[in-house]
Amino acid sequence: MNDCVFCGIAAGKIPSKKIFEDDEIFAFHDIDPKAPTHFLVIPKRHIENLMECGAEDEALLGKLLVKAQETAKDLGCGESGARFVINCKSGAGQTVGHLHIHVLGGRELKWPPG
Ligand code: 5GP
Ligand code: ZN
């Protein structure tokens, strides 16, 4: 049985503040936002992390990025900008083992993130 929380959210079995969905991807607000705007864009299909992807995933990855930036603009980040982050594996801060793009905006973001 798949007990992945993001699979549950994508399937509508776990509640979330949904922003967008189609047959392949799902976008929703982060439950613990680190910025005034902080949402996640995920594939509905379970992919553990970015390093599991191959050439067969190129179209899906492109679609995730395009939707991420479109949604950032829809939510008011078009002028000020936004940060698009993919944490990959625990050493890089990944806590949920289902590929997700973080989109953060609405405040000044320092670099490097630490
Ligand atoms: P990671 O640390 O894996 O890059 O990011 C996981 C993100 O998912 C975190 O920012 C965390 O707040 C968010 N998150 C974890 N569980 C849930 C949940 O059940 N619902 C929502 N909306 N976000 C979640
Ligand atoms: Zn999953």
Ligand 1 pocket member 51 (CB < 6 A): no
What pLDDT digit, counting tens, does each position of 63-109 carry? 999 999 999 999 999 999 999 999 999 999 999 999 999 999 999 99
User: Which ligand 1 atom sits closest to the C-alpha of 85?
Assistant: 4
Assess whether pLDDT exceeds 50 at residue 17.
Answer: yes
Ligand 1 pocket member 49 (CB < 6 A): no
- As given in the structure block, the two tokens for residue 56 are 């067969």
Residue 43 C-alpha to ligand 2 middle, in angstroms? Answer: 9
Question: What are the strands, taking DSSP E only, across 1-114?
Answer: 18-21, 25-29, 37-43, 82-85, 101-105
Q: What is the rounded CA–CA span in Å between residue 75 and residue 54?
A: 31
- As given in the structure block, the two tokens for residue 43 are 């594939």
Query: Residue for token digits 């905006």?
Result: 105
Q: What are the residue boundaries of the structural domains of the chain, listed by start?
A: 1-37
Show the CA angle centred on residue 43, arms to residues 38 and 49, nearest 5°: 85
Q: Whose CA is nearest to atom 13 of ligand 1?
A: 30
Contact 90, 109 (CB under 8 A): no
Ligand 1 pocket member 62 (CB < 6 A): no
- Residue 1: per-residue pLDDT: 47
Is pTM beyond 0.75? Reply is: yes
Q: What is the rounded CA–CA span in Å between residue 13 and residue 17?
A: 13
Residue 56 C-alpha to ligand 2 middle, in angstroms? Answer: 18
- As given in the structure block, the two tokens for residue 19 are 């922003």
